[in-house]
């Protein structure tokens, strides 16, 4: 599990392309301090397993499924990527709960400087927009952000100076693709409302039902 607070911007040092997978070598510094082989790390919001460690880099393997549903297949040697190690149970969650399981790919529809900040409009597919609400949370390339508004087939977010400095989003250009992950809570609420009342003689979800199932 992750928080969407990017720790460091890494660089793609090398890409080895297999028939149905990629091996990515990523140059980094801060995230290597206590990283171990087998640990989880997000690369542009996609949860990956560290397969190899060197002094100033780590490697991960991207499967065919990951390449198919994320932007990782578009990466090139020298590209910058957002990095975050998995959170500890004792950590503060500064953003929101992020799994690193990308739900879809969007694109930068527009960007506008607003003082020291940048307003981004993200064009997104329907499966993303159905969970997107004003003032809700979303992860863009692994960055936890608040949705300012939803307009048609797009949603709006604002990048503050800290986010511009600490992530790759500030350098993103119109038309570039980004990984998107919806708020986990919204997906669970939908699943619970649709599938959670299948017990015999239980036609509705009420406070008693919620209490019985440990939600409060």
184 & 112 share domain: yes
**pLDDT tens string 66-109:** 999 999 999 999 999 999 999 988 888 888 989 999 999 999 99
Distance CA 40, CA 50 (A): 6
The angle subtended at Cα 159 by Cα 32 and Cα 143, nearest 5°, is 35
pLDDT at 105: 98
In a domain, 79, yes or no: yes
Q: Is the pLDDT of residue 110 over 90?
A: yes
CATH number at residue 152: 2.40.30.20
In a domain, 167, yes or no: yes
- Number of structural domains the chain divides into: 2
Question: What integer is the mean pLDDT of 135-164?
Answer: 97
List the one residue out of 185, 204, 182, 202 whose CA is nearest residue 193.
204
End of a domain among 85, 119, 139? Answer: 85
128 & 170 share domain: yes
12 & 79 share domain: yes
In a domain, 210, yes or no: no
Quickly count: other Cβ atoms within 10 Å of residue 150's Cβ. 15
**pLDDT tens string 165-196:** 999 999 999 999 999 999 988 888 888 887 76
Could you give the count of Cα atoms lying within 13 Å of 36 in the half-sphere of its Cβ?
A: 1
In a domain, 208, yes or no: no
pLDDT at 84: 98
Domain residues for the domain of 38 are: 8-85
In a domain, 91, yes or no: no
74 & 110 share domain: no
User: In 3-state terms, what secondary structure has residue 127?
Assistant: helix
81 & 133 share domain: no
The answer for residues whose C-beta is within 8 angstroms of residue 126's C-beta and 6 or more apart is: 153
In a domain, 207, yes or no: no
The reported pTM is 0.88
Distance CA 60, CA 146 (A): 29
């Amino acid at each position: 599990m992750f928080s969407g607070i990017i720790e460091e911007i890494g660089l793609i040092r090398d890409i080895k392309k297999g028939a149905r997978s990629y091996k990515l070598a990523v140059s980094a510094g801060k995230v290597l301090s206590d990283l171990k082989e087998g640990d989880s790390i997000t690369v542009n919001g996609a949860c990956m397993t560290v397969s190899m460690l060197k002094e100033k880099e780590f490697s991960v393997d991207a499967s065919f499924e990951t390449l198919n549903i994320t932007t990782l297949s578009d990466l090139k040697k020298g590209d910058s990527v957002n990095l975050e190690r998995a959170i500890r149970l004792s950590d503060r969650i500064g953003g929101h709960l992020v799994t690193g399981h990308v739900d879809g790919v969007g694109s930068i529809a527009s960007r506008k400087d607003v003082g020291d900040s940048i307003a981004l409009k993200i064009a997104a597919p329907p499966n993303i927009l159905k969970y997107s609400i004003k003032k809700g949370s979303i992860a863009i390339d692994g960055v936890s952000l608040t949705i300012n508004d939803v307009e048609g087939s797009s949603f709006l977010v604002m990048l503050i100076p800290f986010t511009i400095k600490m992530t790759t989003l500030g350098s993103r250009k119109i038309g570039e693709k980004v990984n998107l992950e919806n708020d986990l809570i919204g997906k669970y609420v939908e699943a619970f409302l649709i599938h959670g009342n299948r017990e015999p003689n239980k036609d509705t979800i009420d406070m008693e039902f919620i209490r019985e199932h440990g939600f409060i």
